[in-house]
Amino acid sequence: MIVSGTILGWQTAFMLHADSARAQSRFMAVGVGGAVLSGLLLAPEFTHGNLVSGTYTADALLMTMAGALAALMMYNYLNRRDTIQPGLD
């Protein structure tokens, strides 16, 4: 969970050209947080794997990646919303 969230957060920071180390670590922390929350809360409900008890399945790991991506998308949307001024093209 933590590794997949860290990798997805790092890739997001790379794709969005995060210049500072602080921004990169923020993206990685959000990715890890989303992966852990979805792995602990959603994976046991919707998949056969339970990451807490150690039964790792491909669908449970895909669920954690989807949770990390969802958290990264929400963070990026909320972070960009304050900086973009409407009406300016």
23 lies in a domain? no
Would you state the pLDDT for residue 70? 92
Provide the number of structural domains found in the chain.
Answer: 1
Both structure tokens of 58:
């491909």
In the predicted structure, residue 85 carries a pLDDT above the cut 60 = no
pLDDT score at 87:
58
**Does residue 45 lie within any of the structural domains?**
yes
State residue 55's pLDDT score.
77
pLDDT tens, 5-20? 889 888 888 888 887 8
Predicted pLDDT at 28: 92
Amino acid 74: pLDDT: 93
Is residue 27 in a domain? no
Whole-angstrom distance, CA of residue 47 vs CA of residue 57:
8
Residue 83 CA to residue 59 CA, distance in Å, equals 36
Q: Is residue 51 part of a domain?
A: yes
SS3 81: helix
Give pLDDT tens digits for 29-74: 999 999 999 988 888 888 887 777 777 888 888 888 899 999 999 9
Range of the domain at 37: 32-79
Within a domain: 57: yes
